[in-house]
């Protein structure tokens, strides 16, 4: 397949997401209560980013990038396909349970949410979004700028419901999570040549980080005090990327090192920038290393997964969103797969990612 045809196929059939973090062990998460959250001053969980933290916002907009149909949600409570791009719960759902806020983080665009649901946190994330303003335009999804607008709208709604002072305290004591970036590279930069004509890889990495830093500044201006930023995964190891860039689709499906190398460089740059912007009296900002645990799973160094370069849905080579549908064949045991479809990890993979990051989460929460 010619490179330009691969890019066209990527843009029309797929979107890539960055992998998030913060998955807890279900047994512990389910035993924590709201009192735990109060003890550690976590009032709510707010989420921004792309599809691994989108619990269904895309259900409410005009886009093909949706997953509110089987087999998505196969292992979610009551087997409901809510719009989450995996077989079960998202990392942010488990995070909310872990801190004792709620069982699952709902999408902000769900108009049926009660004031109580709103008060304990929502996700503004949109599958296929990214830090580069051009990325969501390609897919017709919610940009990071629009997600911030929704957050301001959310605050206004809350002030009407519970008052300005209570709203300010709630925001001050909330945890904020940001996960995006992979779409910017795989769908955007290495897709249409628009960005490559203006940016080298290095300058594009710097551009994305500056967009992220502006977003963090906006959150701080809105009262956020605890912010977690997820790095990039080994992008070259996503099954869809292997399919689109590999010379051999069926044998030796190894990771595309050039793309994974870009992710590693980006992550180092991001960590350095976080250290620079941290100020005394400013928001607490932490970095989540997603690359290491995921590459350990994929390369078989830990955890014992049997399938690491294909998804559980369909052939696992290209199926995602509409291509992973009720007519698709599904693997008998998703726990043996790192990836649910050709892009998104399984629930089990997310849980391992959380466990690798437990100490950082506890640090944010103030847990000794």
Active site residues: 51, 341, 344
Q: What would the 3-class secondary structure string for the chain be?
A: CCHHHHHHHHHHHCCCCCCCCCCCCHHHHCCCCHHHHHHCCCCCEEEEECHHHCCCHHHHCCCCCCCCCCCCCCCCHHHCCCCCCCCCCCHHHHHHHHCCCCCCCCECCCCCCCHHHHHCCCECCCCCCCCCCHHHHHHCCCCHHHHHHHHHHHHHHHHHHHCHHHHHHHHHCCEEEEECCHHHHHHHHCCCCHHHHHCCHHHHHHHHHHHHHHHHHHHHHCCCCEEEEECCCCHHHCHHHHHHHCCCCCCCCCCCHHHHHHHHHHHHHHHHHHHHHCCCCCCEEEEECCHHHHHHHHCCCCCCCCEEEEECECCCCCCCHHHCCCCCCECCCHHHEEECCCCCECHHHHHHHHHHCHHHHHHHHCCC
* Burial class of residue 309 (count of CB atoms within 10 Å of its CB; 0-12, 13-18, 19+): buried
């Amino acid at each position: 397949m010619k490179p330009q045809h691969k890019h066209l196929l990527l843009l029309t059939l797929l979107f890539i997401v960055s992998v998030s973090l913060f998955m807890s062990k279900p047994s512990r998460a389910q035993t924590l209560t709201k009192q735990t959250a109060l003890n550690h001053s976590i009032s709510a969980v707010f989420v921004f980013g792309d599809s691994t933290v989108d619990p269904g916002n895309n259900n409410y907009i005009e886009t093909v990038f949706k997953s509110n149909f089987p087999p998505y949600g196969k292992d979610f409570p009551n087997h409901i396909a809510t719009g989450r791009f995996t077989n079960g719960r998202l990392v942010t759902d488990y995070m909310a349970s872990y801190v004792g806020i709620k069982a699952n983080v709902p999408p902000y665009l769900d108009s049926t949410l009660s004031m109580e649901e709103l008060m304990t946190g929502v996700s503004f994330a949109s599958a296929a979004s990214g830090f580069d303003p051009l990325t969501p335009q390609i897919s017709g999804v919610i940009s990071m700028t629009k997600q911030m607008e929704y957050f301001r709208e959310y605050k206004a709604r809350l002030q009407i419901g519970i008052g300005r002072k209570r709203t300010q305290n709630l925001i001050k004591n909330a945890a904020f999570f940001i996960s995006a970036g992979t779409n910017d590279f795989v769908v955007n930069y290495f897709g249409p040549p628009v960005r490559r004509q203006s940016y080298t890889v290095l300058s594009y990495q710097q551009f994305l980080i500056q967009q992220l830093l502006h977003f963090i500044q906006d959150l701080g201006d809105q009262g956020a005090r605890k912010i977690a930023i997820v790095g990039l995964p080994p992008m070259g190891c996503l099954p869809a990327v292997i399919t689109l860039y590999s010379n051999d689709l069926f044998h030796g499906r190894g990771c595309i090192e050039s793309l994974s190398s870009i992710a590693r460089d980006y992550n180092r740059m991001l960590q350095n920038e976080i250290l620079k912007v941290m100020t005394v009296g400013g928001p607490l900002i932490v970095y989540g290393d997603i690359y290491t645990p995921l590459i350990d799973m994929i390369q078989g160094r830990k955890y014992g997964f049997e399938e690491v370069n294909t998804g559980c849905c369909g052939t696992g080579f290209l199926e995602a969103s509409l291509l992973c549908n009720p007519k698709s064949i599904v693997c008998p045991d998703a726990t043996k797969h790192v990836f649910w479809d050709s892009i998104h990890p399984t629930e089990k993979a997310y849980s391992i990612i959380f466990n690798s990051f437990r100490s950082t989460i506890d640090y944010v929460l103030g847990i000794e």
